Amino acid sequence: MDAYTPTPRTQVKRLAKRAVYDKTQVHSILDAGYFCHVGFVVDGQPYVIPTGYARVGDRIYIHGSAASRMLRTLEEGVEVCVTVTLVDGFVLARSAFHHSMNYRSVVVLGKARPVTDPDEKLEAMRSFTNHVVPGRWDEVRKPTAQELKSTTVLALPLEEVSAKVRTGMPIDDEEDYALPIWAGVVPIRTKVGEPLPDGRVLPGVPAFDRARFRSRSNEMG
């Protein structure tokens, strides 16, 4: 299937014309982001925790310390909601009411499973590293057995998924177009600055090339 099937939990009802279920578009949003927000409930108390993630095929991985309350809770199989949001522009209308933002967002529902297979866990770690810096895994020291043991990795299948996207200009009330007020879109871009060495880089090591980030859709060098 080329699209996710909406469920009663993922069917976009408010402004349904902005709904996206196409897998290619959903994956492109996930691949362009760096942070997700993980929502879950413990003893009636809701929590929403920001964390890094990586998509591999039909699942996303999250990871952290084995002592993390969030990861220990999710390991038990509780329901989880993971969201990723990218803001692409401020939409400035002639009226305050019609101001908006251009954005791309994804919501994933389900239950995460602990990754216990050593090969899958190492592949997930590789994916986390390369998601931030393409090709970085092949340049750095790999995790030791102790580092892997102290890290919990969870996999969340991309099954109950929906996306919502807004693009384009503001839509004002017809009578407001006669007002002498500027309206339009102010684009938002993430800019990568000049890399700063930590002061202990060995002589002869080439400087980091920030152009490597240009493959990310919301990044500009």
**pLDDT score at 221:** 42
Structure tokens at 148: 């892997």
How many angstroms from the chain centroid is the CA of residue 59?
13
Best CA proximity match to 53, nearest among 1, 139, 140, 112: 112
Tens digits of per-residue pLDDT, 50-73?
999 999 999 999 998 877 888 888
Closest CA to 87 of 14, 5, 164, 157: 164
Report CA-CA distances (Å) from 155 to 78, 116, 128, 141, 152: 13, 10, 12, 24, 10
What is the third-level CATH fold of 16-88+101-167? Pnp Oxidase; Chain A (2.30.110)
> In this predicted model, what pLDDT tens digit does every residue of 15-47 receive, in sequence order?
778 888 899 999 999 999 999 999 999 888 999
Residue 215 is predicted with a pLDDT of 58
Residue that is written with structure tokens 């999250």 in the block: 62
Q: Is 112 exposed, middle or buried (0-12, 13-18, 19+ CB in 10 A)?
A: buried
**Domain boundaries in the chain?**
16-88+101-167, 189-221
Q: Does the structure show a pLDDT above 90 at 143?
A: yes
For residue 35 the two structure tokens come to 């942070």
Overall pTM surpassing 0.85 (yes/no): yes
Hey, which residues does 219 pair with through a beta bridge? 190
Say how far apart CA 178 and CA 12 lie, in whole Å: 34
Output the pLDDT for position 216: 58
For residue 206, give Cα distances in angstroms to 132, 140, 202, 209.
19, 14, 9, 9
Q: Given this model, what pLDDT does residue 219 score?
A: 47
